[in-house]
């Protein structure tokens, strides 16, 4: 079976971690985020995978290579301009058309049973099936409205008080199963979104868009805070408090815990680092304290305007520091 991994976004809420790479290419415990998605698809027999690219395309290609290391064969498709979630599908039409295919967002880690979702898709004879999860924490994910196992529409962000005495709202996981007939509803060569442009049109024409309410682990890493929190959770499950990339130098006299270090990071004697992300080539000098922050080299962002939705930061010596929540 074929699949498409959506990997073209800018990752503005992850900036400055995405200044020199796209969101799916950021490392999570020594593996690129998009690598988790490729391995997930491979476990369910999806060995022909299309990866769409736009922002920093070389970062994804460098992270995944030809796909063999993740058990798949990859096809890369670049978008000259961002085309949206369904525009990306149209842009890969030549590689996907003709059979059932799967689309997965490149910013998630999950163990949701894809076979069970496929059974729902086939049983309902749907043109598309969206994989959903109960949003038990009422996080800021748009509510998906359903009835009798089918999509009815999309709402706004959930308010916890509205669900105090009833079932939690449902949210979309970024995993969907599609029939090639979906291309009849995707405009050619223009920006479009599945949720606002394609599914409403298909449903108004009598098409069945099913929902599969799943169970399982699902992590979405779209902000700096979520990236740190989820990385530390995964580390704690290993009984660890620190992950470090290649060629890092941590002095025996440094105090460091609950942190994520990328490649070639130096932490000198007497430095204290806690609940921090240290990007490539960051140098933490002796006696310096970094806590609840993401840090990249100042040279990486010097003279550049932060993108919309990015967190604010400041220059500190050779580093650019973005404070996070306590």
* Residue bearing the bigger pLDDT, 125 or 11: 125
Rounded to the nearest 10 degrees, the angle between the axes of helix 33-43 and helix 57-64 is: 50
Lookup result for tokens 């979906």: 182
pLDDT at 32: 93
Using 50, 70 and 90 to split pLDDT, how confident is the model at 170?
Answer: very high
- What lies within 8 Å, CB to CB, of 204 at 6+ separation is none
Q: What is the pLDDT of residues 27-57, one digit of tens each?
A: 999 999 999 999 999 999 998 999 999 989 9
For every residue of 48-64, DSSP letters joined together read EEEEEE-SSHHHHHHHH
Q: What is the pLDDT of residues 239-259, one digit of tens each?
A: 999 999 999 999 999 999 999
pLDDT, the chain, mean: 94
Lookup result for tokens 């059974």: 119
pLDDT at 165: 63
Cis amide leading into 43 (omega within 30): no
Q: What is the pLDDT of residues 189-205, one digit of tens each?
A: 899 999 999 999 999 99
CA distance 264 to 227: 20
pLDDT at 206: 96
Which residue in 75, 63, 69, 1 sits closest to 39, CA to CA? Answer: 69
On whether the CB atoms of residues 23 and 54 are closer than 8 A, the answer is: no
pLDDT at 163: 65
Length of the chain: 326
Q: How many CA atoms lie within 13 A of 239 on its CB side?
A: 0
Which residue in 229, 224, 311, 319 sits closest to 267, CA to CA? Answer: 319
Q: Is the pLDDT of residue 156 over 90?
A: no
Q: What is the pLDDT of residues 173-186, one digit of tens each?
A: 999 999 999 999 99
- What lies within 8 Å, CB to CB, of 157 at 6+ separation is 140, 141, 142, 143
Lookup result for tokens 């499950």: 237
Report, as an integer, the average pLDDT of 109-131.
97
Which residue in 7, 205, 169, 181 sits closest to 88, CA to CA? Answer: 7
Q: Is the pLDDT of residue 222 over 70?
A: yes
């Amino acid at each position: 079976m074929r699949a498409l991994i959506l990997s073209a976004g800018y990752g503005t809420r992850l900036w400055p971690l995405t200044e020199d790479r796209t969101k799916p290419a950021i490392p999570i415990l020594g593996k690129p985020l998009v690598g988790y998605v490729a391995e997930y698809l491979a476990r369910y027999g999806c060995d022909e995978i299309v990866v769409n690219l736009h922002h920093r395309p070389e970062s994804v290609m460098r992270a995944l290579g030809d796909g063999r290391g993740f058990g798949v064969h990859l096809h890369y498709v670049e978008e000259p301009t961002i085309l949206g979630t369904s525009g990306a599908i149209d842009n890969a039409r030549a590689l996907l058309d003709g059979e059932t295919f799967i689309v997965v967002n490149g910013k998630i880690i999950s163990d949701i049973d894809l076979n069970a979702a496929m059974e729902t898709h086939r049983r309902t004879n749907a043109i598309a099936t969206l994989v959903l999860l109960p949003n038990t924490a009422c996080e800021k994910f748009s509510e998906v409205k359903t009835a009798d196992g089918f999509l009815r529409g999309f709402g706004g962000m959930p308010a916890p008080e509205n669900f105090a005495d009833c079932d939690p709202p449902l949210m979309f996981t970024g995993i969907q199963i599609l029939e090639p007939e979906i291309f009849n509803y995707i405009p050619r060569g223009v920006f479009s979104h599945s949720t606002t442009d394609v599914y409403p049109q298909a449903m108004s024409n009598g098409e069945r868009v099913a929902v599969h309410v799943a169970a399982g682990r699902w992590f979405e890493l779209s902000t700096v805070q979520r990236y740190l929190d989820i990385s530390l959770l995964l580390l704690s499950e290993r009984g660890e408090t620190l992950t470090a990339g290649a060629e890092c130098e941590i002095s025996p006299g440094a105090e460091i815990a609950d942190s994520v270090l990328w490649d070639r990071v130096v932490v000198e004697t007497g430095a204290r680092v806690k609940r921090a992300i240290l990007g490539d080539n960051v140098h933490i000098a002796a006696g310096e304290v970094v806590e609840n922050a993401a840090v990249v080299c100042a040279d990486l962002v010097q003279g550049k305007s932060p993108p919309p939705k990015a967190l604010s930061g400041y220059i500190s010596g050779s580093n650019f520091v973005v404070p996070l929540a306590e």
